[in-house]
């Protein structure tokens, strides 16, 4: 099963993608996590990506597409994968469609996690991330067992640099301009499904499971 998660920054794509990956035993591929890991390790890609991420801008397609195409060609992706945070532009979507075409494959579902902008800023200011293992929490709605500490690996949780309110507004603008057109792209491709992302996490997941079967 090959799945794309669509939705605004903070809509809950990552939260749901992790659950999908667990239930259907497929890899969770998050371009944001890949970039953050590169930043943490001080790679060339990380240095370049950080300049854009800190401003709330998208990392250029040239730095993003090949990385994902390589990743989905790896062995563990044979039975499918869930893409979280990619594609984010029409050229990225076209690169993905073309790469899969060459393998005689196509995406099965694009799931749009729908959350209005009003709810997003609140979610982002409460988001706490583990940069060690990629786990994500929320101080109110999805708190870790011990404040400030990752349940999964015991590392310290942080407020991401790009989750500060000034940057969140910029990311929302970028989302509406560059990423939202993908909803139409996948509607035309006949694989778009929408879920109400304002519900509690478990209820959003139940809706998704109904779609995926
Ligand atoms: P969120 O889950 O809050 O939407 P991500 O972790 O997906 O955030 O992405 C964080 C940042 O990483 C983005 O604001 C952008 O700068 C960069 N990024 C992630 N994925 C992509 C992509 N597919 N194309 C371009 N930039 C990306
Ligand atoms: P995205 O990957 O789309 O940027 P995340 O999955 O990181 O979004 O979720 C953004 C924030 O909202 C996190 O703090 C997360 O714990 C929280 N969150 C996710 N799903 C829900 C939900 N259904 N209700 C309330 N908060 C949620
Ligand atoms: Zn962790």
pLDDT digits (tens, 9 = 90+) for 43-58: 999 999 999 999 999 9
Distance (Å, whole) CA 146 – CA 144:
5
Q: pLDDT of the chain along its 213 residues, tens only? A: 999 999 999 999 999 999 999 999 999 999 999 999 999 999 999 999 999 999 999 999 999 999 999 999 999 999 999 999 999 999 999 999 999 999 999 999 999 999 999 999 889 999 999 999 999 999 999 999 999 999 999 999 999 989 998 899 999 999 999 999 999 999 999 999 999 999 999 999 999 999 999
Ligand 2 contacts CB of residue 18 (under 6 A): no
Q: 13 catalytic, yes or no?
A: yes
The two structure tokens encoding residue 129 = 């991330």
Q: 127 catalytic, yes or no?
A: yes
Selecting among 50, 71, 122, 160, the annotated active-site residue is 160
Distance (Å, whole) CA 160 – CA 61:
22
**Pocket-testing residue among 6, 13, 15, ligand 2, by greatest number of atoms within 8 A of Cβ:** 15
CB distance 168 to 55 below 8 Å: no
Q: Which residue's CA is the nearest one to ligand 1's atom 3?
A: 9
| Model pLDDT, residue 155 | 97
């Amino acid at each position: 099963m090959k799945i794309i998660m669509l939705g605004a920054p903070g809509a809950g794509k990552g939260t749901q993608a992790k659950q999908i990956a667990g239930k259907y035993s497929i890899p969770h591929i998050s371009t944001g996590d890949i970039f953050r890991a590169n930043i943490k390790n001080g790679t060339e890609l990380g240095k370049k990506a950080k300049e854009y991420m800190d401003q709330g801008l998208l990392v250029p397609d040239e730095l993003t597409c090949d990385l994902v195409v390589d990743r989905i060609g790896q062995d563990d992706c044979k039975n499918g994968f869930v893409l979280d945070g990619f594609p984010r532009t029409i050229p990225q979507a076209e690169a993905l469609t073309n790469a899969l075409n060459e393998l005689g494959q196509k995406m099965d579902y694009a799931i749009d996690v729908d959350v209005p902008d009003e709810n997003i800023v609140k979610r982002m200011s409460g988001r706490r991330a583990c940069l060690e293992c990629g786990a994500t929490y929320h101080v109110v709605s999805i708190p870790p067992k011990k404040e400030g500490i990752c349940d999964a690996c015991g590392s310290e949780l942080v407020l991401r640099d790009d989750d500060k309110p000034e940057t969140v507004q910029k990311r929302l603008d970028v989302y509406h301009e560059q990423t939202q057109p993908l909803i139409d792209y996948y509607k035309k491709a006949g694989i778009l499904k929408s879920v109400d992302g304002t519900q509690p996490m478990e209820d959003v997941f139940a809706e998704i499971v109904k779609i995926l079967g």
